[in-house]
């Protein structure tokens, strides 16, 4: 999901700065033009570098990225709800186990063993 958000940001930056970068190229990579529009040109180059790093030849549309993001978010919510139910069930089982151990005296045996070990160490 973070990858989609990052890619979406780069696409938006690329589209917004495309005209400025085209004008920069037409100006013959002028230092004066670069000084005036440095922020936009750097954003454009960073977006282009990110696309190259990801190996993207054709840019996906922002709409398709938003649809994919929405699908993943829905899936995450569903999975997280299942995780919460499982975690709650585990807590209940651990509480039941602790109660059974207490009733069966397992806790007392361990306590007595610890007291014996501490007494021998002295």
- What pLDDT digit, counting tens, does each position of 19-35 carry? 999 999 999 988 999 99
Indicate the pTM of the whole model: 0.57
Q: Cα separation of 78 and 88, whole Å? A: 16
Q: What angle do CA 52, 54, 58 make, to 5 degrees?
A: 70
SS (H, E, C) 16-81: HHHHHHHHHHHCCCCHHHHHHCHHHHHHHHHHHHHHHHHCCCCCCCHHHHHHHHHHHHHHHHHHHH
Query: Per mean pLDDT, which range of 26-30, 42-46, 99-103, 107-111 is the poorest?
Result: 107-111
Question: Quick one: tokens of 16?
Answer: 């917004």
Check whether 39 has a pLDDT greater than 90.
Answer: yes
What contacts 73, CB < 8 A, 6 or more positions away?
1
Residue with tokens 């696309």: 51
């Amino acid at each position: 999901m973070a990858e989609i958000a990052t890619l979406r940001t780069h696409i938006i930056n690329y589209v917004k700065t495309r005209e400025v970068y085209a004008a920069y190229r037409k100006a013959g990579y002028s230092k004066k033009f670069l000084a005036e529009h440095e922020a936009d040109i750097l954003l454009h180059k960073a977006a282009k570098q990110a696309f190259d790093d990801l190996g993207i030849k054709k840019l996906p549309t922002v709409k398709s990225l938003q649809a994919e993001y929405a699908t993943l978010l829905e899936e995450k919510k569903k999975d997280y709800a299942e995780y919460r139910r499982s975690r709650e069930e585990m807590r209940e089982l651990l509480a039941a186990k602790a109660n059974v151990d207490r009733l069966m005296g397992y806790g007392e045996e361990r306590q007595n063993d610890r007291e014996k070990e501490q007494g021998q160490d002295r």
